[in-house]
């Protein structure tokens, strides 16, 4: 299944599906209660809540079940949801497609370096990792060395884990490099550094 492009506005169905999968992945209790004559549902997920039509919710629940992402059981309090392995994988795809790195206003002067040494036998995954790092805005110093000015350890660990390459990667923070001026110029051009 295709992940949705970052810039594309989210449809109601997509928001419902992402919220259902997200709640299930996090183990959050999914509470759905009728409002306004049962034509509208109110979905409570942790600190957030969403209003949507009953028909939209039912359509998405059926689609998620049909595709083998979730198993649902109706209870007195709402829907009991269990995410299936296929649903976890789909949610990871969604997270990966929506992943963005932080761009704080103030830079601490440190560079974050992401280095990998991935065997040739798994070059397909290595090339996918390299493409994703470039998409995220990291600067490619050498074929397997990337740099970013802000903390991105968690995000890069997620990316490496997504491609099952974490054991081949290293993350480091450095305060000086002899190509510092070129890096600053590049990240200012990309509007990542101010």
Can you give the residue range of the structural domain that contains 29? Answer: 12-98
Are residues 16 and 94 both part of a single domain?
yes
Are residues 77 and 25 both part of a single domain?
yes
Of the residues 65, 98, 131, which one is the last residue of a structural domain?
Answer: 98
In a domain, 138, yes or no: yes
Q: What is the pTM of this model?
A: 0.76
Q: What share of the chain is helix, strand, coil (3-state, %, to 5)?
A: 40, 25, 35
In a domain, 2, yes or no: no
Q: What are 91-134's pLDDT values in tens digits? A: 899 899 999 999 999 999 999 999 999 999 999 999 999 999 99
- Nearest in space to 82 (alpha carbons), one of 99, 59, 106, 65: 65
Q: Give the whole-number percent of the chain exceeding pLDDT 70.
A: 75
Q: What are 22-33's pLDDT values in tens digits? A: 766 666 555 555
Q: Residue 25's pLDDT is what? A: 67
Going by pLDDT thresholds of 50, 70 and 90, the confidence category of residue 12 is: low
Q: Residue 185's pLDDT is what? A: 96
Are residues 131 and 183 both part of a single domain?
yes
Which of 27-41, 49-63, 77-91 shows the highest mean pLDDT? 77-91
Sheet architecture: strand order including 31-35: 31-35, 40-45, 48-53
**Distance between CA 51 and CA 40 in Å, rounded?**
7
Decide if pLDDT at 37 tops 70. Answer: no
Are residues 91 and 145 both part of a single domain?
no
Are residues 21 and 62 both part of a single domain?
yes
In a domain, 164, yes or no: yes
**Distance between CA 88 and CA 90 in Å, rounded?**
5
Question: In the predicted model, what is the mean pLDDT of residues 19-44?
Answer: 57
Are residues 117 and 181 both part of a single domain?
yes
Domain total of the chain = 2
What CATH number is associated with residue 48? 1.10.10.10
Average pLDDT, the chain: 82
């Amino acid at each position: 299944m295709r992940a949705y492009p970052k810039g594309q506005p989210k449809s109601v169905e997509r928001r419902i599906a992402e919220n259902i999968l997200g709640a299930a992945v996090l183990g959050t209790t999914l509470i759905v209660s009728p409002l306004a004559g049962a034509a509208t549902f109110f979905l409570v997920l942790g600190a957030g809540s969403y209003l949507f039509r009953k028909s939209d919710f039912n359509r998405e629940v059926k689609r998620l079940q049909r595709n083998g992402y979730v198993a649902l059981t109706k209870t007195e309090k709402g829907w009991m949801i269990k995410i299936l392995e296929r649903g976890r994988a789909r949610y990871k795809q969604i997270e990966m497609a929506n992943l963005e790195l932080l761009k704080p206003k103030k830079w601490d002067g440190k560079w974050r370096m992401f280095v990998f040494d991935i065997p040739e036998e798994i070059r397909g995954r290595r090339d996918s990792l390299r493409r994703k790092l470039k998409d995220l805005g990291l600067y490619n110093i050498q074929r397997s060395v990337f740099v970013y000015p802000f903390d991105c350890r968690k995000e890069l660990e997620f990316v490496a884990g997504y491609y099952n390459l974490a054991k081949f990667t290293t993350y480091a923070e450095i305060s000086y490099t002899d190509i510092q001026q070129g890096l600053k110029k590049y990240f200012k051009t990309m509007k990542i550094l101010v």
